A and B are shown apart, each in its own frame.
Chain A
């Protein structure tokens, strides 16, 4: 079945980097954009950016520019999100989410139809 499986929980010290993986299965990996969304404990959802697995092109939210890098390895259908210079307020669950390919009135719908299970990243000294 179509699924995204993420890597396990991480504990990092302030100033370190973390790299989260997201392995896709059950569909053509290069056919769908992959987005990353995070959720701090007890808080709402925050969009971080996307990667086009076909071209490797990326677009990051301004808030994360300079600290986030999204990459992919098409040979193993896996997307990665690396966040550097971690701070305590980066403590959150990080999700990868597939953008569907639905079009409405000729416009692509940017909706996330498949989500990974989430990866808890804790930043603590």
Chain B
């Protein structure tokens, strides 16, 4: 099974900061990686698919990059409503696997 490792596990940043989260796969998954945002008590929301494609309706301050085993998720200018936990998810092979999550807080 493919293992997904996110870092950091938690992160504190100020409004307006550039925030970066990384996700590493245990083997090459090409571009088969998505990113989700989950707010407390809510279902996850798809932000980025296929490593770098922005889902319709998602603000352009969110972006993703990478391929192979190393991926990056970036918020270019942190907004108060971005406080959430972020997950990466691979779909190169079954079973589908998620990273353990990165909790983002406002400093």
Contact = CB atoms under 8 A, between A and B. Distances in A.
B100 A47 contact: no
Nearest to A115: B43
A109 B55 contact: no
Nearest to A99: B91
Tell me the dominant secondary structure on chain B's binding face: loop
B85 to A, nearest CB: 8
Interface stretch (B18-26, B46-54, B67-75): B46-54
B86 to A, nearest CB: 11
Interface residues of B, number: 24
Interface residues of A, number: 24
B70 to A, nearest CB: 19
A49 to B, nearest CB: 8
A44 B95 contact: no
B95 A61 contact: yes
A112 B46 contact: yes
A62 B43 CA distance: 24
Interface in B51-96: 53, 55, 87, 89, 91, 94-96
Interface of A: 35, 44-47, 59, 61-63, 95, 97, 100, 102, 104, 107, 109-113, 115-118
8 contacts: A45-B101, A47-B95, A61-B94, A104-B53, A111-B50, A111-B91, A115-B44, A117-B43
Q: Which 8 A-B pairs have the closest CB atoms?
A: A110-B91, A115-B43, A47-B96, A45-B98, A111-B49, A61-B95, A104-B50, A111-B34
